[in-house]
């Protein structure tokens, strides 16, 4: 990401909301070069389109039958997933009060009718660029700089979301904690640069092994990794952890400092929440504790193995 706006943007999906078909056609012609154009002529249709088609930006008329543009904007912004969705009002009202109200309810810009094509395109382009930059910054803030995996902050947020979903829907949730065996001895023997290379290689191997939608592999800290496994029962979680253990072993990365062999290995601890109300797991921290206990058991049992802690009723 550079310090200047990019010269080009990927094609955008833009929703135009106006009860005047002529104005819809005018705006559609203006914005057609920027990507796919969607349209709605009333507030309810606009809200449905936002839910179903996930536009990148919305051009919204202020006055419409039924729901006003202000009400539509409030409804869109009431959904946290639309927090960064740019909404630009287009209106024939020129008074400061109407413009200010549009900005207060969540719009990012206010364009006067009749619309000027260069102004509409320039302002839309600016908002799309700002949204893309925000997304890039959020991605950077959620990624571990060394391994490219999700970082601890991203892990905490993901586990919290999946924990709530698991308890709400009574679906299983598993967590795997993974530790590189004798990693301090690896660093002492080969040096920290080689240690970083080892971490990156193991991280990539773990990430490639997690293939199901929703599975998140994160760097938990130091040489420890965490894998969040939504909708994953204990047998499936154990199988994935074993696949990860074997793939790391199959790398045959030399480890002269290991006390259990001559190559890099990992130990895995798995914990599973069944989805039923369980007093022993009142929050996501208790799932982490259960996985950590399983990881400790794997180390005590000789390392290079998977142990499971399935807390059930």
Task: Give rounded-to-5 percent helix, strand, coil for the chain.
Answer: 50, 20, 30
Task: Tell me if residue 104 is catalytic.
Answer: no
Tell me if 306 sits within 8 A of 271, measured CB to CB: no
Per-residue pLDDT at 1:
37
Q: Which among 85, 88, 72, 100 is positioned nearest to 130, based on CA atoms?
A: 85
The predicted-structure confidence for 105-125, as pLDDT tens digits, reads as follows: 999 999 999 999 999 999 999
CB neighbours of residue 71 within 10 Å: 14
Residues of the chain where predicted confidence (pLDDT) is lower than 70: 1-8, 275-282, 310-313
The predicted-structure confidence for 140-166, as pLDDT tens digits, reads as follows: 788 999 999 999 999 998 999 899 888
What is the reported pTM?
A: 0.64
176: helix, strand or coil:
strand
Q: How far apart are CA 61 and CA 113, in angstroms?
A: 10
Q: How far apart are CA 280 and CA 310, in angstroms?
A: 11
Tell me if 99 sits within 8 A of 90, measured CB to CB: no
Per-residue pLDDT at 5:
42
In this structure, the strands spanning 173-180 and 216-221 are unpaired
Tell me if 274 sits within 8 A of 232, measured CB to CB: no
Identified catalytic residue from 223, 242, 276, 284: 223
Sign of the four-CA dihedral 216, 221, 246, 251 = positive
Q: Which among 86, 81, 36, 45 is positioned nearest to 64, based on CA atoms?
A: 45
Per-residue pLDDT at 155:
94
Domains and CATH numbers, the chain: 12-140 (3.40.50.2300), 152-311 (3.30.70.270)
Per-residue pLDDT at 275:
62
Per-residue pLDDT at 136:
80
Per-residue pLDDT at 94:
87
Laid out side by side, the sheet with 12-17 consists of 35-40, 12-17, 57-61, 87-91, 109-112
Tell me if 251 sits within 8 A of 201, measured CB to CB: yes
């Amino acid at each position: 990401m550079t310090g200047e706006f990019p010269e080009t943007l990927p094609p955008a999906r833009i929703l135009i909301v106006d009860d005047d078909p002529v104005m819809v056609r005018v705006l559609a012609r203006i914005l057609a070069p920027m990507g796919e154009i969607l349209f709605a002529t009333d507030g309810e249709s606009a809200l449905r389109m936002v839910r179903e088609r996930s536009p990148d930006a919305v051009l919204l008329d202020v006055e419409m039958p039924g729901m006003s543009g202000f009400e539509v904007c409030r409804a869109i912004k009431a959904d946290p997933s639309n927090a960064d969705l740019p909404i630009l009002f287009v209106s024939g009202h020129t008074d400061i009060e109407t413009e200010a109200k549009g900005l207060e309810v969540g719009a990012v810009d206010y364009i006067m009718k009749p619309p000027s094509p260069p102004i509409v395109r320039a302002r839309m382009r600016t908002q799309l660029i700002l949204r893309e930059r925000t997304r890039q910054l959020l991605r950077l803030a959620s990624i571990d700089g060394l391994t490219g995996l999700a970082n601890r902050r991203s892990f905490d947020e993901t586990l919290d979301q999946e924990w709530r979903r698991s308890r709400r829907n009574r679906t299983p949730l598993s967590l795997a904690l993974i530790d590189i065996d004798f990693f301090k001895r690896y660093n002492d023997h080969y040096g920290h640069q080689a240690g970083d290379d080892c971490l990156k290689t193991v991280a990539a191997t773990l990430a490639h092994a997690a293939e199901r939608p929703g599975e998140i592999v994160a760097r938990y800290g130091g040489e420890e990794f965490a894998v969040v496994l939504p909708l994953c029962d204990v047998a499936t979680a154990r199988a994935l952890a074993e696949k990860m253990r074997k793939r790391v072993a199959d790398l045959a990365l030399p480890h002269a400092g290991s006390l259990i062999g001559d190559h890099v290995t990992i130990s895995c601890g798995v914990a599973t929440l069944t989805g039923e109300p369980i007093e022993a797991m009142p929050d996501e921290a208790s799932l982490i504790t259960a996985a950590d206990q399983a990881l400790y058991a794997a180390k005590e049992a000789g390392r290079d193995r998977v142990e499971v802690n399935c807390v059930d009723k």
